[in-house]
């Protein structure tokens, strides 16, 4: 692995953690019902098996499912496409960037968030894929697109 690749992985993972921490702090990973269940489960009113079962339910409720998260990434890509369809004007929230730039940044933020939360090694996979692609034939042996 090159120094540049290692620096990328470390930076990616640091930014992924930051993106996830921000998402958590803004309530995107919380669930009020799950929090209430957690408080009940931590109480003294029930036996340890009931408390454990409630804690497990609360944990599952706090988790976003993978399909939902990938769907949100897809929606950001769709917003990038819509920006292009409308001439790629400046973004309404960060006008120093075009709509496509801002929406593609949102895709990456969502990838960072999910990768960090799940402990997925996306940066490492990206580096490995780029290395693999260097050894592939032109257009991977005949693909048109």
pLDDT at 66 over 80: yes
Q: Collapsing DSSP states into helix, strand and coil, what is residue 92? A: coil
- Range among 16-25, 41-50, 121-130 with highest mean pLDDT value: 121-130
Read off the tokens for 121. 């090694």
For residue 3, what are the CA distances in angstroms to 7, 85, 124?
6, 39, 13
Domain range 1-28+65-135, its CATH number among 1.10.3470, 1.10.287, 1.20.120, 1.10.357:
1.10.287
* Mean pLDDT calculated for residue range 138-143: 76
* Mean pLDDT calculated for residue range 73-95: 98
pLDDT at 138 over 90: no
pLDDT at 36 over 80: no
* Mean pLDDT calculated for residue range 94-119: 96
Nearest to 99 by CA among 73, 69, 74, 78: 78
pLDDT at 44 over 90: no
| Residue 57 dihedral angles phi and psi, to the nearest 5° | -60, -45
Going by pLDDT thresholds of 50, 70 and 90, the confidence category of residue 112 is very high
pLDDT at 114 over 70: yes
d(CA 120, CA 24): 17
Domain ranges in the chain are: 1-28+65-135, 30-63
pLDDT for res 49: 76
């Amino acid at each position: 692995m090159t120094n540049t690749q290692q620096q990328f992985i470390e930076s990616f993972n640091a930014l992924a953690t930051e993106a996830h921490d921000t998402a958590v702090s803004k309530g995107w990973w919380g669930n009020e019902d799950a929090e209430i269940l957690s408080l009940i489960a931590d109480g003294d009113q029930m036996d340890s098996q009931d408390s454990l079962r409630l804690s497990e339910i609360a944990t599952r409720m706090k988790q976003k499912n993978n399909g939902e998260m990938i769907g949100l990434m897809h929606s950001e890509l769709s917003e990038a496409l819509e920006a292009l369809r409308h001439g790629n004007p400046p973004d309404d929230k960060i006008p120093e960037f075009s709509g496509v730039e801002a929406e593609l940044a949102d895709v990456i933020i969502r990838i960072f968030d999910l990768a960090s939360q799940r402990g997925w090694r996306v940066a490492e996979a990206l580096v490995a894929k780029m290395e693999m692609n260097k050894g592939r034939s032109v257009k991977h042996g005949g693909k048109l697109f």
